[in-house]
Amino acid sequence: MLDVACGTGLEDKFLKLSFHVTGMDLNSGVLRIARRRNPELTYLSGDMRTFRFENRYDVITCFDAMCYLRDHTELRKTFRNFHRHLLNGGVLVFYLDPVFLKEHHKQDTIVITKKHNQEKHITLIELYRRKGRSVEGNAVYMIQESSRVRFEIDNFETFGFFDVARIKRMLRDTGFRAHLYSGGRNITFSLRKYNQHSPYPIFVCEK
């Protein structure tokens, strides 16, 4: 399988328990961390919109990254590229956070996430606001290490703003049979079918 936009390879730690995984990302810095985390896996550099690999895969995943595409035109280009790299009968799995979806977006959404290990407690506070055809995101990290607390401010990023109905049509036009499931806030996967009240559409697309 190919894990597109694999980041630091966090998901690959679990995916490799069941699959022969190749990871791909745009950013060479995160790939270095991914290679350290999963030294037995192959990691390649590439842009999801334009990459061309010789291999064809049974599964392509793209987690927490489609939002970096600017608009539906880039999304269509990326779907075509994924389709090209899948074997017949292969499956593409991805999700989009509700904040990037017309059907679910709420202006000024604040998301608070907490993570910790033995040395550090990290609280991430994100604010998302819609601006025309994109969504702007700002983030602050509060890092508690022993008795010290420091703050890191993430420069604002611009994300795409998409439409579930349009994505479904584009997937169909690209040659996918798309099945939408209902996910939870922490991307828990359920086998319940997506409806407009489901907070988190998870797309499972068969070639």
Ligand X SMILES: C[S@@+](CC[C@H](N)C(=O)[O-])C[C@H]1O[C@@H](n2cnc3c(N)ncnc32)[C@H](O)[C@@H]1O
Which residue ranges make up the site for ligand X (CB under 6 A)? 5-7, 10-11, 25-27, 30, 47-49, 63-65, 68
In the complex with ligand X, the residue whose CB is nearer, 90 or 97, is 97
In the complex with ligand X, the residue whose CB is nearer, 88 or 101, is 101
Provide the token pair at 85: 């790299």
Cα separation of the two ends of the chain: 14
In the complex with ligand X, the residue whose CB is nearer, 66 or 178, is 66
In the complex with ligand X, the residue whose CB is nearer, 6 or 60, is 6
60 and 23 Cβ atoms separated by less than 8 Å: no
Cα 170 to Cα 167: distance, rounded to the nearest angstrom: 5
Name the closest residue to ligand X (Cβ).
7
Please, what is the minimum distance in Å from the beta carbon of residue 65 to ligand X? 4
Region of residue 187 (left: phi > 0; alpha: psi -120 to 50; beta: else): left
Please, what is the minimum distance in Å from the beta carbon of residue 138 to ligand X? 15
In the complex with ligand X, the residue whose CB is nearer, 43 or 194, is 43
The dihedral formed by the CA atoms of 42, 47, 53 and 59, expressed in degrees to the nearest 10: 70
Helix (H, G, I), strand (E, B) or coil at 93: strand
Please, what is the minimum distance in Å from the beta carbon of residue 160 to ligand X? 11
Please, what is the minimum distance in Å from the beta carbon of residue 77 to ligand X? 10
Please, what is the minimum distance in Å from the beta carbon of residue 174 to ligand X? 17
Provide the token pair at 128: 């998302």
